[in-house]
Amino acid sequence: MILVCMAHLTEPGVRHYFVQSLQACKEHKMQYYTKVVNACLFAAFFVIGGALLYYKYKGKMTVEQKKSKLEADRMYILNKVKQVQSVRQNDSMRLITNLPGPENAHFFH
């Protein structure tokens, strides 16, 4: 019988007060964490969006840069075409005679 009486060592209102106080603290803490997380996510979104827009803006070529790039591409293609034509012309000259040239001197020994 003594153990049953010892289970309630506090007054009934004190336990209710502590439970309500702890619940209020929990709600206040959750509101604080929610505000901090929202602020951090907003800052991250703002920084990532700003960096993306800055990169896109700086990545664009000006009209002069576009023209110079097109001219460089054009010259590269023309040089490659000339190289291929000269190789084909040299190959066709070799096919006419089918004789070894001076670069193949080991055939003459």
pTM here is 0.45
Read off φ and ψ for residue 96, nearest 5 degrees. -65, -45
Instruction: Please state, in angstroms and rounded to a whole number, the distance separating the CA atoms of residues 53 and 64.
Output: 22
pLDDT value of residue 106 = 61
Average pLDDT over residues 34-51: 96
Regarding predicted confidence, which is higher, 1 or 90? 90
pLDDT value of residue 1 = 43
Regarding predicted confidence, which is higher, 7 or 28? 28
Neighbouring residues of 61: CB distance < 8 A, sequence distance ≥ 6 = 69
Cα-Cα-Cα-Cα torsion 81, 82, 87, 88, nearest 10 degrees, comes to 70
Structure tokens at 97: 């005679």
Structure tokens at 20: 């309500």
Q: Is the pLDDT of residue 30 over 80?
A: yes
Average pLDDT over residues 72-80: 96
pLDDT level of residue 13 (50, 70, 90 thresholds): confident
